[in-house]
Amino acid sequence: MICPLCAAALVAADNGVACAAGHRFDRARQGYLNLLPVQHKNSRDPGDNQAMVEARRRFLEAGHYAPIAKRLAELAAERKPAAWLDIGCGEGYYTAQIAEALPQADGYALDISREAVKRACKRAPQLSWLVASMARIPLADASCQVLASVFSPLDWSEARRLLSAGGGLLRVGPTREHLIELRARLYDEVRAYDDEKHLSLIPADMRLAHSETLSFSLALSSPEARADLLAMTPHGWRASAERRAAVIEQPLEVTVAVRYDWFQLN
């Protein structure tokens, strides 16, 4: 790890970490390190709030997206990294399954939401859990062999900086069919989007080495599950209150469709 203020190496110091310049960061009682200085925040409490984090935790722990996590862990295990990082780990559901698949590797996970990381670090205490910005990741250059980004924004230049030779980024994102039935209920017009748009952002010395898709049907029979799905997606605040209420009231079967891309450093 490196200092988010001066980029010097961080070493253990009392109940936290410090750099040679004297910058100190205490470990929270839950076990995570807050490496997000106040001057790097865009708001007082950035990232997902407690309600959003709890909705995602309930939905994921109910197993609705278990096939996505299972395949992600399998793909990560195939890479056999010495060190890996989950960028935008949220409340840690996917991170914990990667950790289980990579028991010998050094694992790191970060999110800008303190509420998310506070809950996530309980899932796999052996990992280094960080509250940090993905635009200023407090890890050294070329320190990771695998990066994971699951339904999360990504700073490609930062990702490239972190990768060592032969390493790569495992990105999981929605295809245009993802939650198509939910979107049809929420909007008068369902806008098609290009699920390959991110390919234009790849750094010049990285290449798409593998891509695959996973699709399955998901029946959401309980109002609680439908409400949690709305709360953990952007559709929960983009759609009207009336449309959201209608979704929660009626049983819903949706298509879950994601793609896994492995971008390797040349």
Work out the average pLDDT over 95-104: 98
177 is annotated as contributing to ligand binding? no
The predicted pLDDT at position 236 comes to 77
User: Do residues 81 and 98 make contact, with C-beta atoms less than 8 angstroms apart?
Assistant: no
108 is annotated as contributing to ligand binding? no
Work out the average pLDDT over 165-190: 95
DSSP summary character for residue 141: T
> In the numeric block, which tokens belong to residue 152?
């999360």
Q: Which of 32-46, 104-118, 202-216, 248-262 has the lowest mean pLDDT?
A: 32-46
Structural domains of the chain, ranges and CATH numbers in brackets: 11-265 (3.40.50.150)
52 — pLDDT class (breaks 50, 70, 90): confident
In percent, the amount of the chain with pLDDT more than 70 equals: 96
The predicted pLDDT at position 48 comes to 67
Sheet of 16-18: strand order equals 11-12, 16-18, 24-26
| Residue 20 three-state SS | coil
Answer whether residue 90 shows pLDDT above 90: yes
Answer whether residue 40 shows pLDDT above 90: no
Work out the average pLDDT over 21-25: 95
178 is annotated as contributing to ligand binding? yes
Answer whether residue 189 shows pLDDT above 60: yes
Work out the average pLDDT over 173-186: 95
d(CA 49, CA 43): 12
47 is annotated as contributing to ligand binding? no
pTM score, whole prediction: 0.93
d(CA 262, CA 211): 6
> In the numeric block, which tokens belong to residue 88?
């935008």
6 is annotated as contributing to ligand binding? yes
Q: Considering only CA atoms, which of 137, 167, 131, 166 is closest in space to residue 154?
A: 137
237 — pLDDT class (breaks 50, 70, 90): confident
210 is annotated as contributing to ligand binding? no
Work out the average pLDDT over 236-252: 91
Write down the mean pLDDT value for the chain: 93
Answer whether residue 7 shows pLDDT above 80: yes
91 is annotated as contributing to ligand binding? yes
Sheet of 163-174: strand order equals 33-34, 128-131, 106-111, 83-87, 144-150, 163-174, 252-265, 206-220
249 is annotated as contributing to ligand binding? no
The predicted pLDDT at position 162 comes to 98
